[in-house]
Structure 1
Amino acid sequence: MSPPRALARLQFHAGFTLDDAVEVVDYYARLGISHLYASPILRARSGSTHGYDVVDCHEVNPELGGEDALRRLVARLRSRGMGLVLDIVPNHMGVGVQNAWWMDVLRHGRTSRYAGYFDIDWQASDPLLRGRLLLPILGAGYDATLREGHLRLARRRGEWMLRVYDDHLPLSPESLAGLTDDAEAKHDPASDEGRAALHALIERQHYRLAFWKLASDMVNYRRFFDINELAGLRIERTAVFEDTHKTIFRLYAEGLIDGVRCDHVDGLADPRRYCRQLRHRLDRLRTQPPPEAPRGGAYIVVEKILAEDESLRLDWRTDGTTGYEFMDQVSAVLHDDTGEAPLTELWRNLTGEGADFATQAVRARRQILVDSFEAELDRTARALFAAARADVATRDVSLAAIRRVLAELLVHFPVYRTYAGGAGRDAFDAAVFERAVEGALRTIRGEDTDLLYLVAGWLGGEAPRSLPPGPVRRARERAIAVFQQATSPVAAKAVEDTAGYRYGRLLSRNEVGVDAARLAISMDEFHRRCVERGATLPHNLLATATHDHKRGEDVRARLAVLSEVAGRWVVTVEHWRARHASLRQRAEGRMAPSAADELMLYQMLVGAWPLGLEPGDDEGLERFASRIAAWQRKALREAKRWTRWTSPNEPYEDACEDFLRSLLSGDGAAELAAFAQYIAAPGAANGLAQTVLRLTAPGVPDLYQGTEYWDFSLVDPDNRRPVDFAARSASLERERAPEEALGTWRDGAVKQATILRLLSLRRAHPELFAQGSYRPLSASGTAADHILAFVREHRGQRLLVAVARHTAEWLAGAETPAIPAACWEGTTLPLPEGQWRNVLGDGARPGGVTEAVGVFGNLPVAAWVSGA
């Protein structure tokens, strides 16, 4: 197999189509990218900005230009020897009137040919929902919506339908009998009689309309997280798998795509089976690829959040994950663990919050279960209850007790999910459950202890296959599947989208796939992770920015500097808190912003402060303030302390925004700008370091759109803003060496030049990166701890990589990230024997013990190649 050398992720929508991508292929080819990596391109809901709400699996989205545009894009890619990897969404679909499968289910209920496509619980505990589908789409209570005339019988395209606001829902065939030409008048909700008749008609449907806020308590279809408009698929059914992947398989068989990225694999009932089935089908399809298509098997990666001690299962037969774990590791190795104590103390002293991140995560899980996942909790509990009832030995166990025990297991679950099946748990999953049970034992009622162990056994501790075929075995297998599908959305919403917005010790460590409790890792641990990845999943993606990141890669790189200058940061924040006390307002009985929200705001302001933004630039400050205000409002709602999406506390939010804008319109802007400048140069050094490590460590680098310049983006939609490809193309044409581009480092060209040089090297020597060994290299001397270095080697070709870290003591307050030669005095690196050529600059040198300054020059990063 020939894996991709390097991917460039593009976000497609009506404002950036497949034809628009045609125009940037040449740019990415010159940069050294081997494959474009596209967001989902199948037909999504109208106006979708991300494509994850697919409504038709059989069509390339016409808003993106349709299949003709896709073929034009692929033709251009093939002309440059490039390929295309496609993001696919096997877990769910967007539902509503644009989804014909969903509409058929609404019309025919359980008898619809598509009823088995969606993960619907037709045996809901609520008798009003049994055999019906809950539609939580009303903007108010059902009675009020009916009385206000938002529900009406209407004729549309010769067919009677139920008009709900501006949409039209189908009516069941059996309910249409007796509707005559005057039916609309007879069902007019303006009169008591008409309203009663309309209600009676609605009650005869296969769906039940409800206020959208009732979804978390009552919804009887599996959702993507807590999003009502995204319904889970039963992809484990072969017919559903084949139908939903029909177009993907055709595109692959025709040589239009070269691989896939599988979104949210943990949402599937059986990820292992799915991945192996996908690999098998793609292997069978690509028997005679078009001559212009790249050779080799399909490239398959999965979006998967791994815990610190968790590895992707190799028997899934994928090429790896989308790289969140690398994002964590490369960030952590650039943080300084000496800053942990003062930063933790600052957080606790200012906020009065003594809980660590793990405690915050447990609290968030408990709240999320109540706020967003009551229906999922009920569904899982009833699956376990069915398993109990199926066995005469446990028939007296109550549903209420199971629900209590289950809730505590979910609250204390330490990973996103486990993968037990008929064969039960493997060793890793067994250890996960042991930790979950230990946590639950601390909080459950004493009389539920025995049941806790019993439930843990049902959930894979006892292999269902050891039971004889029959109802007990089937019930256990179903309970395991339902439980495992419930743990990942609870974890994601609680950890990423709640605790991550509540715990603000250092926001550079609050990121997707990152444990915010861990501030830093050692160089030895980073090296160990690289060696493991090279040995097991050498084609795993390496990401440092994605469409889902909370803060841009260079925001995180700059904020990492706070771990090095923690003492100064503490004093600065305390000064700002006192200085800006008069700007806080009382809103809804509390001061706004709270101490926690204020501390996190300061971090975002200095971390994302645009290079070159001056305190006197009113227009620039306004643009920056608007971006930060949008982030702030989203962050406050995600934290769910004083406000939330389902019930916004606008007075508090508005007061927080007033505080922000007052900061940036007064003298405070100068101090913020000064501190941002103080950490800018070491932050840029960190940014270059993580760029070089992503491009040279074992794995396949993923370049998110636009991040070849400095990436000071915020959470979406800010990180999906239009990219100025014209500017990037123009700077690329100049082909400056990174050492030269360092002189104007604020424009981002030095980062682009570094990427160009390293991607060009990957193109010239693909086997060195795809198969080369990885050996840590240790520096000696006074600044040895500031150097992370390693050697990649394959068949006589060698690459030496070295990056500087923890450079604040040299660069804080400096005008440039160029490291003064005196900083390296007395520090050496043992270059292996041979003749070495500088990749990022000019010149050559022999191997042997070499002064660090001779390796780095002025740059904070270095790459030297030998034998190539």
Structure 2
Amino acid sequence: MAEAGVPPVPGATYRLQFHKGFGFRDAAALAPYLARLGVSHVYASPYLAARPGSTHGYDIVDHGRLNPELGAETDFRAMVAAFRENGLGQVLDFVPNHMGVGGADNPWWLDVLEWGPDSAYAGWFDIDWQSDRRYLRGKVLIPFLGDQYGAVLQAGQLALRFDPEAGGFAIWAYGTHKLPICPLHYQRVLGDLHPDLERLGDTFSGLPHWRPRIAQHARELQSHLVGLARDREDVRDAVEAAVARLNGEPGKGETWRELDSLIQDQHWRAAHFRVAADDINYRRFFNINELAGLRMELPELFDRAHQLVFSLMQEGALDGLRIDHVDGLLDPKGYLLRLREQAPRPFYLVVEKILSRHEGLRDDWPVQGTTGYEFANLLLGLLVDPAGEPGFTRTYAEFTRRHQDFAHGVRDSKLRIMRSEMASELNTLAGEAAEVARQNPSTADFTHNILQQGLKEIVACFPVYRTYVDLLGAPTEDDRRDIDWAVAQARRNRADLDPSVFDFLHRLLTTDLVAQPRSGFSRHAVTRFAMRLQQYSGPVMAKGLEDTAFYRYNRFVALNEVGGHPDHFAVPIAAFHAANAERARRWPHAMLTTSTHDTKRGEDTRARLAVLSELPDEWARQVDHWSRILRARCGDVEGDAPPDRDDEYLFYQLLIGAWPMELTGIARLDPQAVGAFSERLQGAMVKSLREAKRHSTWATPNRAYEASTMSFVRAALDTAGGNAFFGQFLPFQKRVARLGVRNSLVQTVLKLTVPGMPDTYQGAELWDFNLVDPDNRRPVDYAVREHLLTEVTAALQADPGPTARAMMENWRDGRIKLAVTSALLAYRRAHPGLFANGSYEPLAAIGPKADHLCAFTRRHEGDALLVVAARFPAQHDANPTWEGTAIAWPSVADTGAGWVDLLSKKVVWRLAETFSPDALLSDLPVAVLVPNDAARS
């Protein structure tokens, strides 16, 4: 337990993805293995009640229950007990921004559909009940239909049903989505053909007289209907007949008129899913119709949503929370402060927050840090050779036959999102801005249209996901800087708009409109608009940048990662050190990650691709040869058939980056294994095509283009007969894979030694060559990992040096990564103060290969650690000597003191002011030195 008032900080976490195929019992069985691996906490994906069949848990339907698909309450308690018995705590991924809707599982949402604005939960969802679309006034759009409403109705796929257990009536779409009928209209269903149902229907029609107990009395009447239908066959038959009378005959439009009339009078409007782009009137998670935004700023909603997790904290089952999509909240800081204030005890708290290059996490947020996207990109950037950028840029332009500017592409992608998937939200915001403008004669002439155009351009130019203007005061300097930038760029891009509209919008977004008393504007309206605009800019950035531009700009896809910056090719050593030192000073307990459920490529896929940055010319030759072979094989000598050159270029990077280790360097390819990989690759390519939105989309897939592209992929990986492509591809792939292993080990060691709290994504203690989700959520073979950990531990204890060398020579099985991971996790556990609170001091290297070395030391109360890592394995492979290159000893290293490498057990003595990396890095590309006496602990 942590000291009173001090949040418990995990030493290291291990992410587990819970779903129907991996539940509480499975996690409990892993507890001994995870403890032996060396982590302190399980970092759990959401396991509160979610939509049935959820593979991720982010579509929560009830914050007060555990997900029954993961096991019973007893299974959960057994898992908690197993964790405790093995010294493991828990950090839970919590989702406050949105809930899963649709289906028939969310009681709050169903109540809203039943009672509309009068529902007790109507205010908990971010619904615009006063839409400027008259047909949506007092209604919520339900865009879940796969075809036009009339076609679905006449096909009999919108059918009225009676629930004999609840006594309610509802329309069921496709037998899946429950759309309740308001009890005020039950008389229209029950009719007058049975006297008891006629009397009951009349009583339902009188419900308005029971205000404010309308809903409660309706439940009483429904219970009465349940009893009647259960106990009397004539009533049961009459109810069935009443339902059948309203349900028409498929294909006969006139038979559905009465049901259509009933539907039109409900508090919901069922519509084709494409209608959402223009008419959606509830805030969503990004543009996902099935995830509805919550107003977590409401105290009563906050209390209800956190009741279960707070009780788990109180009993010691939870030590921390990871807050999903914190930028979706109206007031992130206010939410986090309330979390701290109302939680029953101190806890570890990190937020999923994507930071721009110039942006820092807010100092006044009461958190330990972010979930580590920025670190993953920082670390990858260190492995990328900056000298390769000109070659990669040239090759990409020549191969794709077009020149792309990434920043311009991001703006275009954001504008596209605002024209299509998120147009309705922008229209609503423009309406609110117009209402503010009309409050003052000096701005009353700004029309809805011109404000919408101005807002669209400003949001497209935002350099960050969002700003954080709140109810408490003026914007911070950071917020003002980013708003100033966005407005200035928007002015330049839309010189055709009256400049005064940007003056007004600038003062509106910064709340300067109400900075002085008697401004003529409503402070509430201005501040509310600024805060709602912030909620909009984040999703637009996410969909435009991560889910569109990242799939259109394929110059070097290792950089196209969540929180990444594809137009910035590499990270200098000095910048890497500066970022680590800053983290040690400001966020020493922030989460560090290299793979997550959201990363678009696995950590070792990216590390392998980084090797290509050292081989730009050879890469260009290889790609040209591969394309010639495969295009000729498909009969496309001109190279004009699908996939287009950009998609083809992406395919080659995914192919070499994710090529399985078991297919590397073998004499004969296993057709079954190649076929399995081909299926994975095709899945990733289809997702990439649809996210790019150039030739295909999720809403309107271009089946012909996709089929041609998949045919190209299958042809490339066809093992039947002679495939000239394999003859060209496999030798190069083997070389890149071997060098990529060295990058992977550097990446692993740095994550486990720099300031911060490291997380291991499920299965990534061995090689992680995953592609984008759902590929990265495939089942993990823990039996193999448990066996290898036992084997590796025993071998290292018996003969550490030769064992480490042997594992490096036989790198394909991943034991070397597992050994490094477990060794460093064990040392972290034995020296918690060093890693939680230790300083960070870069070490200078001198000589011809100085920039190939990344070295630093960490110190805390007499404890010390010295790390040396080698960059650029391809260059080192071509010139293995370190002659003339040396590293300065830190001041902590006493003259004559001995240091031992935790990984190879080599001993190094301080005999001069510097030491050579030559012998130290002869077997492994990284060394972790500790004082000789510390190595025994």
Say whether residues 1:633 and 2:698 are aligned partners. no
Contact 1:605 1:672 survives alignment (8 Å): no
SS in 1 for 2:74: helix
Q: Which residue identity does 2:882 align to in structure 1? A: W
| Aligned residues of 1:437 and 1:452 also touching (Cα < 8 A) | yes
Of 205, 228, 231, 2:266 maps to: 205
Q: Check 1:473–1:492 CA distance in 2 against 1; reply closer, same or farther (3 A cut).
A: same
State the TM-score, normalizing by the size of structure 1. 0.95
Paired residue for 1:839, among 902, 924, 933?
902
Whether 1:474 and 2:474 are equivalent positions in the alignment is: no
From 411, 416, 420, the counterpart of 2:460: 411
Residue by residue over 1:520-554, the C-alpha shift from the partner in whole angstroms, topping out at 9 and shown as x without a partner, is 01000000000000000100000100001101101
Amino acid in the other structure paired with 1:251? L
Post-superposition shift, 1:739? 3.6
Q: Does 1:5 align with 2:11?
A: yes
Matches within 5 A, 1:183-332: 183-190=242-249, 194-282=255-343, 285-286=344-345, 297-332=346-381
1:576 corresponds to which of 626, 636, 645: 626
CA pair 463-271 structure 1, distance change in 2 beyond 3 A: farther
2: distance between equivalents of 1:438 and 1:310?
Answer: 18
1:731 to 2:780 alignment: no
- Give the superposition deviation at 1:807: 1.5
Structure number with greater Rg is 2
Q: Which residue is 2:776 aligned to?
A: 719
Label 1:178 to 1:541 Cα distance change in 2 as closer, same or farther (>3 A): same
Report the Cα distance in structure 2 between the residues aligned to 1:520 and 1:772, rounded to whole angstroms. 27
Cα distance in 1 for partners of 2:469, 2:816 equals 48
Q: What are the within-5 Å matches in structure 2 for residues 538-617 of structure 1?
A: 538-584=588-634, 591-613=641-663, 614=666, 616-617=669-670
Over 6 Å off, 4+ runs:
none
- Give 1:193 deviation, angstroms: 5.1
**2:841: which partner in 1?**
775
Question: Equivalent residues in 2 for 1:63-142 (5 A)?
Answer: 63-96=69-102, 97-142=104-149
Q: Which region of structure 1 is more displaced relative to structure 2, 436-445 or 242-251?
A: 436-445
Alpha-carbon offset, residue 114 of structure 1: 0.5
| RMSD over aligned Cα atoms | 1.8
**1:463 Cα deviation from its structure 2 partner:** 6.9
Distance 2:520 2:48 in 1: 40
SS in 2 for 1:773: coil
Q: Which amino acid aligns with 1:572?
A: Q
User: Partner amino acid for 1:210?
Assistant: A
* Contact 2:511-2:527 within 8 A present in 1 as well: no
Q: Letter of the 1:117 partner, please give it.
A: W
Give me the whole-angstrom Cα distance separating, in 2, the residues matched to 1:443 and 1:156. 57
| Residue of structure 2 in register with 1:450 after alignment | 500
The residue matched to 2:918 in structure 1 has which SS?
Answer: helix
- Which among 32, 35, 41 is matched to residue 29 of structure 1? 35
Classify 1:843/1:572 alpha carbon distance in 2 versus 1 (closer, same or farther; 3 Å).
closer
Inter-CA distance 317–550: structure 2 relative to 1 (3 Å threshold) = same
The answer (yes or no) to whether the contact 2:42–2:90 under 8 Å persists in 1 is yes
Judge conservation of contact 1:405–1:448 (CA < 8 Å) in 2: no
Question: Does 320-329 or 441-450 show the bigger shift?
Answer: 441-450
Q: Distance in 1 between matches of 2:641 and 2:315?
A: 61
Inter-partner Cα distance in structure 2 for 1:585 and 1:172: 62
Q: Give the C-alpha shift of residue 100 in structure 1.
A: 0.5
Residues 312-461 of structure 1: pairs in structure 2 closer than 5 A: 312-422=361-471, 423-460=473-510
Query: Which stretch shows the higher mean deviation, 258-267 or 850-859?
Result: 850-859
What SS class does the counterpart of residue 221 from structure 1 fall into? coil
Contact 2:511 2:526 in 1 (8 A): no
Which residue, 866, 871, 882 being the options, matches 1:824? 882
Match of 1:535 among 585, 590, 597: 585
The alignment partner of 2:641 has SS state of strand
Q: Verify the 8 A CA contact 2:483 2:510 in the aligned structure 1.
A: no
1:688-727 equivalences in 2 (<5 Å): 688-727=745-784
Could you say what secondary structure the match of 1:118 adopts? coil
| Cα deviation code 1:548-571 (max 9, x no counterpart) | 110110110011111100011111
Q: How does 1:41-52 map to 2 (within 5 A)?
A: 41-52=47-58
Question: 1:763 and 1:671 mapped to 2: Cα distance?
Answer: 47
TM-score w.r.t. the length of structure 2 is: 0.88
The 1:468–1:27 alpha-carbon spacing in structure 2 relative to 1, beyond 3 Å, is farther
Q: How many angstroms apart in 1 are the aligned matches of 2:809 and 2:310?
A: 49
Alpha-carbon shift at residue 183 of structure 1 (Å)? 2.7
The range that moved more, 221-230 or 412-421, is: 412-421
Cα distance in 2 between the residues matched to 1:585 and 1:48: 43
Distance 1:702 1:632 in 2: 28
- 5+ unaligned residues in a row in structure 2: which ranges? 1-5, 191-237
Q: Write the distance in 1 (CA, Å) between the matches of 2:285 and 2:640.
A: 34
Structure 1 residue 465: Cα displacement: 6.0
Whichever residue aligns with residue 582 of structure 1, its letter is A
Aligned to 2:153: 146
2:860 aligned with 1:794: yes
Q: CA deviation at 1:192?
A: 5.2
Structure 2: distance between partners of 1:436 and 1:328: 25
Which deviations, in whole Å up to 9, do the C-alpha atoms of 1:389-417 show, x marking residues without a partner?
Answer: 23343222111110000010111111111
Partner of 1:853: 918
Q: 1:624 aligns with which of 677, 680, 684?
A: 677
Matched to 1:699, the amino acid is G
Matches within 5 A, 1:661-676: 661-665=714-718, 666-676=723-733
Q: Which amino acid aligns with 2:153?
A: L
Q: 2:533: which partner in 1?
A: 483
Letter in 2 for 1:516: P
Identity of aligned residues (%): 43
User: Which residue matches 1:290?
Assistant: none
Report the Cα offset of residue 687 of structure 1.
Answer: 0.5
* Matched residue SS, 1:19: helix
Task: State the secondary structure of the residue aligned to 2:752.
Answer: helix
- Does residue 171 (structure 1) correspond to residue 181 (structure 2)? The answer is yes
Aligned partners of 1:606 and 1:673 also within 8 Å: no
Secondary structure (helix, strand or coil) at the match of 1:301 reads strand
Distance 1:739 1:280 in 2: 52
| CA gap 1:621/1:178 in 2 versus in 1, 3 angstroms | closer
Q: Distance in 1 between matches of 2:517 and 2:530?
A: 14
How far apart are the structure 1 equivalents of 2:877 and 2:38? 31
